Amino acid sequence: MLENIKISELPSVYLLDKDRLPNCAAIYFVFDSKGQMIYIGRTINLVERWKAHHRFNQLKRFNRKNTLSISWLTCSSDIENLSNLENEFIKLYKPPLNWSKVVVLIRKITPAETALQQSLQQLAKFNVMIVGFDPISDGEPPTIYLVYPVYGMKGLSGSIRNALKNINKKVSSLKWKEYKTYPKSSGKFGLWETEYKGLRIDLSPFDSLVYFMENSNRQTLAGIELMAFSREQLELILDKKEENDEKTSGLEALEDDPIPVENIYRIQPLNSNYKNTVEVEPWEELEPMAEGEVRIMTRQFVYVDDIEIEVCTNDNGKYFVRHNLYLWIMYKRKNSDVPNDITIKRLEDEINRLPTIRWCGYRFRYETIRFSEDDAEVDSLLVPLAMFEDLMKDKSRFNSQALEQILRGEYKSTDYDRGSIKLFVWLQSNYISSLLQTNNNK
């Protein structure tokens, strides 16, 4: 069994001492000072292979901060056996550089546990819940089942897909696979899976999840806190399933974290330079006003083509726009003709569709705003200027052909274009804040 081969006990040399490698057929392993496997390869002549290895310059950059070593397992020179053995080791250790192209500039390698925590940190923003843990499964590794909410034909599948694809772009041994996708007519919901040290994590949509959230527990997975089904809730679900349902036959409520790794987010001090954390700027959220009070702000107007944009500024120099502006640009509605709570829900849904997790959980509030220049008062929702720009840059509104033209800078605007299209094109290379007249920094 390959698992019984201890890489740490194999002969090895430092990366920069590669000329000391022997002349033999081998499977070779590149790993760092922490024992993280980075790359695996095969050769019929180890020292000759490393005289001009196509990964050497790439690995040498990593070696500046973290000493790399090459170890090897001597093998027969049969090419087919070498190839099969290499593939088995790659499947076992999932070294990140084996899935990256040499021409791609790689600045850092993200440890598997960090990529997992970053994944779970983002999934928690989308109300993902832990269903349970199946420690014993025929032909499958122990599995933790996660679910995300679905609302009829709508849900967070697109946001989750973007978040996990962004995780997959990292140079890491942890990768998420969308192993099944429901057809577009059914909502195009994705089912995902990943593995971490022999433990499988399964993520799937759940139609009535919202009804379980209020009475759910809180549990940690890889040190990240998520909502979790209580024992009673899980039993209620399992009772409704057929007794021969193999997928849930051994499922039990999660009580202890099966991945006991340190939570890098919880212990991270403010202003730290720890490079493995997800960097999310703080919300530009204003303190709520007491009932009956009025928020005093200033405002100025800037123009993109023929689009007038009113930007409001609070006494701390933070920029906002009123939701009415967004409604006008997107839907040509000057005022909302629906109840306040529905308007808030629609805005929340629209920011949840964005690929960024920056605004997840932002609380919208209707307020009375008075502008100090002319004492004009309005009732509105304040949207941070950066959020407004993110909403206007939402790519899902365009077909692929138009989007490709815009992103390549080849799109030719016309007088008949909607304001939302003009603003989208302009925002690809500009910021509204650059048009503002102020002495404060954004």
Answer whether residue 380 shows pLDDT above 70. Answer: yes
Q: Which residue has better confidence, 295 or 245?
A: 295
Q: How far is the C-alpha of 227 from the C-alpha of 373, rounded, in Å?
A: 47
Q: How many whole angstroms separate alpha carbon 176 and alpha carbon 195?
A: 8
What amino acid is encoded at 104 in this protein?
Answer: V
- Mean pLDDT of all residues belonging to the chain: 81
Query: In this model, does residue 246 exceed pLDDT 70?
Result: no
Query: Within 10 A of 23 (CB to CB), how many other CB atoms are there?
Result: 10
Cross-strand partners of 370:
296, 377
CB environment 401-414: b (16+ within 10 A), e (fewer): eeeeebeeeebeee
- Whether residue 89 is predicted with pLDDT greater than 80 in this model: the reply is yes
Q: What is the pLDDT of residue 335?
A: 60
Residue bearing the bigger pLDDT, 65 or 318: 318
In the chain, what is the greatest distance between 2 CA atoms, to the nearest angstrom? Answer: 86
Q: Residue 275's pLDDT is what?
A: 37
Give the angle 392-395-398 at the CA atoms, nearest 5°: 105
**Number of neighbouring beta carbons within 10 Å of residue 213:** 11
Cα dihedral sign for 199, 205, 209, 210?
positive
pTM for the structure as a whole: 0.51
- The helix/strand/coil state of 174 is coil
DSSP 210-269: HHHHTT-EEEEETTEEEEE--HHHHHHHHHHS-TT-GGGTT-B---S-SS----TTTSPP
pLDDT band at 163 (very low <50, low <70, confident <90, very high): confident
Closest CA to 78 of 28, 27, 29, 40: 27
pLDDT at 154: 57
Does the pLDDT of residue 107 top 60, yes or no? yes
Q: What DSSP string runs through 289-341?
A: PPTT--EEEEEEEEEETTEEEEEEE-TT--EEEEHHHHHHHHH--SS--S-HH
Q: How confident is the model at residue 120 (pLDDT cuts 50, 70, 90)?
A: very high
Pairing of strands 224-228, 307-313: unpaired
pLDDT category of residue 10 using cuts at 50, 70 and 90: very high
Residues across the chain:
442
Per-residue CA distances from 380 to 320, 322, 349, 397, 421 (Å): 11, 6, 18, 25, 24
Q: What is the pLDDT of residue 347?
A: 86
Could you tell me which of 128, 113, 131 has the C-alpha nearest to residue 263?
113
Given a contact cutoff of 8 angstroms between Cβ atoms, the answer to whether 15 and 69 are in contact is: yes
pLDDT tens column, 324-337: 888 888 887 766 55
State yes or no: pLDDT of 249 exceeds 80. no
Higher local confidence (pLDDT), 54 or 154: 54
- Using one digit for the tens of pLDDT, what is the confidence trace for 21-79? 999 999 999 998 888 889 999 999 999 999 989 888 888 888 887 899 999 999 998 88
- Residue 355 near residue 159, CB atoms below 8 Å: yes
Quick one: average pLDDT of 359-382?
84
State what percent of residues in the chain have pLDDT above 70: 81
- State the average pLDDT over residues 112-136: 88
Pair of tokens at residue 77: 């020179």
Contact, 261 vs 363, CB < 8 A? no
pLDDT value for 264: 56
Highest mean pLDDT among 14-28, 50-64, 114-128, 146-160: 14-28
Helix (H) or strand (E) holding 28, with range, is strand 26-31
pLDDT of residue 269: 39
| Span 424-439, pLDDT tens digits | 888 888 889 888 875 5
Q: What is the CA radius of gyration of the chain?
A: 27
Is 308 a residue whose pLDDT tops 50? yes
Reported as type and span, the H/E element at residue 180 is strand 177-181
